[in-house]
Amino acid sequence: MRETAYAKLNLALHVRGREPDGYHRIETAFAFAEHGDTLTVAEDEGIRLRVTGPFASGLAGQDNIVLTAAHALRAKCGVQAGAVLTLDKHLPVASGIGGGSADAAAALRLLCRWWGLDLPESSLAELARGLGADVPACLYSRTARGEGRGDRLEFADYGVGGAPLLLVNPGIFLATRSVFEGWDGRDGGPLGDPLAGRNDLEGPARGLAPAIGEVLEAFHALGTAALVRMSGSGATCFALFRDEADRDSAGRLFARRHPAWWQLASRLR
């Protein structure tokens, strides 16, 4: 069996405040690409994980959230069977597009099918919430508004389904916590139309990684992008285009001028 861990985008991300426990209260609009990492599963006595793909080395020596998700689901449902999961890692690590959260969510979806579990959607969502703030949104991988830590969801249609999409990362990994710590504490107002919104983490992320500004400026300079924004806490940026020809032209241009930049051409789900 196979499952895609769809890349997550924040069409907008408004930071509204910092809670006493140190976490931040946000309002965000989630969207998802058609592509991402891939998880496959096979029989095994225990729970094991193999990681392959171009970004496998970025997870070496880390406690992987995929294993955490698998063990949590197995314990919750009293499953005796095991599984060996193979994660083909194509999304950059710590890049603002939900790589780890999307992988964990894909593991939950995949193992529910593999083990034949009939777990109520509400119970699965609660399990996802315990794994991380973005995991519930990634579990559904649908356009949605997120509040609180981003884990209180309301599904929404932002009219962007099928939009040609180009994601670009300048080869920088950013720790989410460091970016949030750089937020200036000013509430810029609530989230309305996400396409007219903003990402309040762009400033602190650019302070840590100025190359983010280079990517955003390169997107704007094209003159063909309908929307340009940084996703999450960075450093991945994205642009939506009116047609695939413009998207592919941008990808070729960036490949020539910035061969070290990672990029992924896709569409929004």
Give the span between the Cα atoms of 87 and 124, in whole angstroms: 21
Query: Options 3.40.50.300, 3.40.50.720, 3.30.230.10, 3.30.420.40; which CATH number does 2-155 get?
Result: 3.30.230.10
Task: Examine the pLDDT at 62 and tell me if it is beyond 80.
Answer: no
* Res 29: pLDDT: 98
Q: Distance between CA 56 and CA 239 in Å, rounded?
A: 26
> With the C-alpha atoms ordered 246, 248, 250, 252, is the resulting torsion angle positive or negative?
negative
Q: Assess contact for 99 and 87: CB atoms under 8 A.
A: no
pLDDT, tens digit, for every residue of 206-233? 999 999 999 999 999 999 999 999 999 9
Q: What is the residue extent of each domain of the chain? A: 2-155, 164-267
Is residue 103 a contact partner of residue 65, using CB atoms and an 8 Å limit?
A: yes
List beta partners, residue 17. 25
Q: Which of 103, 134, 200, 246 is catalytic?
A: 134
Q: What is the pLDDT of residue 74?
A: 97
| pTM for the model | 0.96
pLDDT value at position 61?
A: 63
Q: CATH 3.30.70.890: does it fit domain 164-267?
A: yes
User: Is the per-residue pLDDT at 63 higher than 80?
Assistant: no
Q: Is 89 a catalytic residue?
A: no
Active site (annotated) includes residue 134:
yes
- At residue 222, φ and ψ (nearest 5 deg) are -60, -40
Query: Which candidate in 8, 37, 88, 246 is catalytic?
Result: 8
**Number of helices and strands (H, E) in the chain?**
8, 10
